[in-house]
A and B are shown apart, each in its own frame.
Chain A
Amino acid sequence: MGIDRRNFMKALGITGITLAVGNSFGTPSKNKDESEIEFRGMLYDSTRCIGCRACERVCAKNHNLPEPKDELKAGVLRKTSELQRTVINNYTTSKGEVSVKKQCMHCNEPACAAACLTQAMYKTKEGPVIWRGDKCMGCRYCMVSCPFDIPKFEYHSPNPKIQKCDLCYDRVIKGQIPACAEACGDALTFGTRRELISEARKRIAENPKDYIDQIYGEDVAGGTGFLYLAPVSFKELGIDTNLQNSSYPALSKGFLYSVPSVFVLLPPLLLGIHEATKNKQPKEEENE
């Protein structure tokens, strides 16, 4: 009997530790009213973009990446890669040729950051979603999770980095605007997300003929820091319009929230059954 009690205590002790660990697993680090904080973002107006690719070049220069040399041609899709954090593509649409920029969307609730187990992918309070090399272990779970396919991995390096637009975070904290916005004529506007949305609304209201009445990024994936204005439907511009409007991290929240309860409920239950079945004869042959 004495041994039984000791076993029981041991099991209890282990359960206790579990509980503590379990809680730290389950507590989401997300701040509830994150959407209230003034995130910075960027408004990209494709009706004003002339496809000069100044943004591509200055981005490469600023991030020590090779200068993009490939031709821009409507119908040929260029992709962002580990060497190019942003690209311009031209699309032939019902309203003529339209240029579209692609880069990280700087989601309000980024899937990449929720996926990252080291917080290397990180949504800063200023708005940019950044990657931190001293934390990243290169698991590429961020790439699996990002609905926009943005993080890129250097597969051919022994010390690989994740490459993606960081909205020039180093410049933003110094009070400067991102390099691409500085290099651009007036297709790119940097500001707080709220200002940008009202600016976008104003443009649509003033020139309803030039724009479709929709801001891409206002709702998609729970809202993004990068906002797009377009003259034609976003589908024509190669933008994925099938993505959900609610946040992506919410998809795994249900599972994560259930973790602490499993840790609280399951061990005592198991222990209970264990105690209840104790009297079964160990040597008996069973035919369950």
Chain B
Amino acid sequence: MNNLAVPVTKDNDGGSIFKFFISELKPKGKWLTPFNIISIPIILLGVVLIVIRFWKGIGSITNLTQETPWGLWIGFDVVTGVAFAGGAYVLTFMVYILKMHKYHSIVRITVLNGFLAYVFYAGALLLDLGRPWNVINPIIGNSFGTSSVLFLVAWHFLLYMIAELIEFSPAIAEWLGARRARKILSGMTIGAVIFGITLSTLHQSGLGALYLMAKDKIHPLWYSEFIPILFLVSSIFAGLSMVIFEGSISHKVFFNQISEKNHKAQNGIIQGLSKICAGTMFAYFFLQLLVFIHNKNWNLLNTTMGYWFLLEMIGFVIIPMMLFIYSYRTSNIFMIRLAAILTMVGVILNRLNVTVIGFRWNAPTHYVPSWMEIVVTMAVIFTEIWIFRWVINRMPVLRESPAWVNEEE
């Protein structure tokens, strides 16, 4: 489905650049793929629902209540989505700071993925705002709520998006054939990386810190003063599992964009990542155990929520961790992918347990998202994938950079 876009390698003059953009806007490849057939109606339905939401209020399409003011859109789109986008800061740390060059070939796609995730999930946040026109207030500074964790998180989202855009920008410059710009932009990479890692550390944990004041509302098995640290550590393997998962899909879908060399390197990369996942998951499990003992929650284990907690910890932390270790030893790529999927399920469970399932677990009627909230969430994800595909088919993300880049370096 992907006839390779020929990257423009000459510097463009004014007239042709317009034509270039027009031609790049056109879709490439077949239209009637299964993905398109499923995603287009959902995206359209999502748009209709969003119109209704702005016209009639948030309550018209969501099941949110006065007791549960944050539901699927925050708990899944924002909190879980950002955890999965954590791959970008972990990989840039490995490649640019620790110089693990083995992973260099997957940095761009991971950063792109992370960037789009932030754009769309922060976008989802806007849908959830009742008075979005005031979103400008905490940004332009006429009312800084500096004691608010949400203020910190919102600002970090914004700054981190810029950092990721800078990290990704050389690919855009290569696509446009802008040699000078590319040089300047790649010079900024390391600064953006350092800034980005710092921001990520703080807002990955900040997402957990958001819930610190909701002490009496979250089930004690999931509430502790250590939520920020747990969120930070789990974002490492959440992000890397996403990289493994997304990598195995794009290696199939965008097969002909990837060079022979990188295809061969792929298994080695996945194995390396699985080792890191296993390590961080072990640390995470250990932390969870410490928190559990510290909070003296033994008596809660023998309840429905207790079983649910054990399922999360054993089924989706310990088992995938073992799988990662086992498959690393035996170089079993299939098992690694399975472990990555289990880990991702575990992260989704964990984030939803804190934000939705365990939030007011004892209320007589519990919040369950409406089908419309789910459709909007899916529409957001599908739109992101559309853009993702559009970019990959055009810019040198998976494929090698144009020849002039190497000449210049």
Contacts and interface: CB of A to CB of B under 8 A. Distances in A.
Given A154-B57, A284-B101, A3 B187 contact: yes
B130 A145 contact: no
Contact of B148 (A21, A116, A262, A263): A116
Interface stretch (B151-159, B168-176, B236-244, B285-293): B151-159
B151 A117 contact: yes
A18 B129 contact: no
B134 interface: yes
Contact of A114 (B70, B129, B147, B215): B147
A254 B187 contact: no
A280 interface: yes
B1 interface: no
Interface stretch (A38-46, A157-165, A175-183): A157-165
A288 B272 contact: yes
Given A6-B187, A117-B154, A144-B69, A111 B213 contact: yes
A25 B97 contact: no
A137 B149 CA distance: 15
A223 B139 CA distance: 32
18 contacts: A7-B187, A7-B190, A25-B155, A114-B148, A117-B148, A119-B145, A137-B133, A143-B66, A143-B69, A149-B66, A155-B62, A156-B59, A251-B225, A252-B149, A263-B198, A274-B96, A280-B101, A288-B100
Contacts of A259: 152, 202
Interface string B105-141: 0000000000000000000000011111111011000
Interface stretch (A207-215, A225-233, A242-250): A242-250
Contacts of A25: 146, 151-152, 155
A113 B212 CA distance: 14
Contacts of A114: 147-148, 213
Q: Give the 3 A-B CB pairs with smallest separation, nearest first.
A: A138-B130, A155-B59, A117-B151
Interface stretch (B18-26, B203-211, B316-324): B203-211
A10 B148 CA distance: 30
A7 B96 CA distance: 13
Nearest to B142: A135
B55 interface: yes
A117 B138 contact: yes
Nearest to B136: A137
Contacts of A263: 198, 202
Contact of A135 (B97, B143, B187, B216): B143
Nearest to A149: B67
Nearest to A82: B66
A154 B58 CA distance: 9
Interface string B171-205: 00000000000000001101111110110011001
For the side of the interface on A, what is the size category? 35 or more
A137 B215 contact: no
B158 to A, nearest CB: 11
A205 interface: no
A219 to B, nearest CB: 16
A243 B191 CA distance: 45
Contacts of B206: 255
A52 interface: no
A252 B212 contact: yes
Contact of B129 (A139, A277, A280): A139
Contact of B228 (A3, A154, A255, A266): A255
B9 to A, nearest CB: 23
A12 B164 CA distance: 18
Nearest to B130: A138
Interface of B: 54-60, 62, 64, 66-67, 69-70, 93, 96-102, 128-135, 137-138, 143-152, 154-155, 159, 187-188, 190-195, 197-198, 201-202, 205-206, 209-217, 225, 228, 272
Contacts of B212: 251-252, 255
A140 interface: yes
B148 A243 contact: no
Given A21-B155, A158-B57, A274-B96, A252 B213 contact: yes
Given A11-B191, A138-B132, A144-B211, 16 more contacts: A7-B190, A7-B191, A115-B148, A115-B150, A133-B131, A139-B129, A145-B213, A149-B67, A155-B59, A157-B57, A160-B130, A251-B225, A256-B209, A266-B201, A271-B194, A280-B101
Nearest to B101: A282
B195 A267 contact: yes
A14 interface: yes
Greatest chain A CB density within 10 A among B134, B197, B272 is at: B134
Greatest chain B CB density within 10 A among A3, A26, A30, A157 is at: A157
B146 A137 contact: no
A160 B69 contact: no
B170 to A, nearest CB: 14
A92 to B, nearest CB: 20
A248 B215 contact: yes
A133 B137 CA distance: 12
A283 B261 CA distance: 13
Given A11-B194, A273-B97, A137 B132 contact: yes
Contacts of B152: 25, 256, 259
B134 A138 contact: yes
A274 B197 CA distance: 13
B130 A153 contact: yes
Contacts of A64: none
A288 B275 CA distance: 10
